[in-house]
Amino acid sequence: MTRAWLLDRLARYRCATAQEADLRVRFQAFVAEYEECFERSLKIGHVTGSAWLVDLERTHVLLTHHQKLDKWLQLGGHADGDRDVLRVALREAQEESGLCSIRAVSDEIFDLDIHRIPARQNEPEHWHYDVRFFCEADRNEPLRLSSESKELRWVGLGDLPRLTSEESILRMARKMKTWRGHSGGTCLPESGTGGRASAW
């Protein structure tokens, strides 16, 4: 996959609100301007990939209590130069959960978000241009906590507002009621995680 693939998916992304339409324009401009947009070395910001990971019954979503940001978030992380953002999302979800049953329900973009990452240590403040994909996994499979997380939890969709006020999380939960992606799914490659660590 290439920048052209991502720009094509961005063009096809269905915006439910004027705010989403504006966000997509900003996202498209960033990807079009910076050839190195998938690299963490691009200090102003970079593309990341994440998974809105639900169980097979579509009643629960797997969230991580992020170690550094101290927030409940979807699984995901840096592309580290990988232009296949769907593969990034699947890889990061496996690394952060230990689940082997993860598959993408669709290769269409489920959600977009642009969020600020505060400065820390030698890393300046920057922006994450996050591409989210709708994924599923078996909730009965054991979880494995990574160093990125304080906790992993399957959360009932109705319980989300009691756990988090993050609008992007609540937005994705609302989208589940109406969103329709292409069927088929993309399974996580058996080759493993590639050794890249996420750092939101």
pLDDT for 189 equals: 43
Write the pLDDT tens digit of every residue in 178-192. Answer: 776 644 444 444 433
Cα angle value 43/9/55 (rounded, 5°): 90
Q: Is the pLDDT of residue 62 over 80?
A: yes
pLDDT for 122 equals: 81
Residues paired with residue 194 on neighbouring β-strands, in sequence order: none
| DSSP E strands, the chain | 45-55, 60-66, 72-73, 75-78, 103-104, 111-117, 126-137, 149-156, 186-187
- Report the alpha-carbon distance of residue 26 to residue 30 in Å, rounded: 6
Residues contacting residue 192 through CB under 8 Å, at least 6 positions apart: none
Residues contacting residue 42 through CB under 8 Å, at least 6 positions apart: 34, 36
Write the pLDDT tens digit of every residue in 93-121. Answer: 999 999 999 999 999 999 999 999 888 88
Residues paired with residue 52 on neighbouring β-strands, in sequence order: 134
Q: Is the pLDDT of residue 17 over 90?
A: no
Residues paired with residue 132 on neighbouring β-strands, in sequence order: 50, 111
CB atoms < 10 A from the CB of 151, how many?
A: 12
**Annotated domain spans of the chain:** 3-183
CATH level 3 topology of 3-183: Nucleoside Triphosphate Pyrophosphohydrolase (3.90.79)
Q: Name the residue with tokens 């988090």.
A: 164
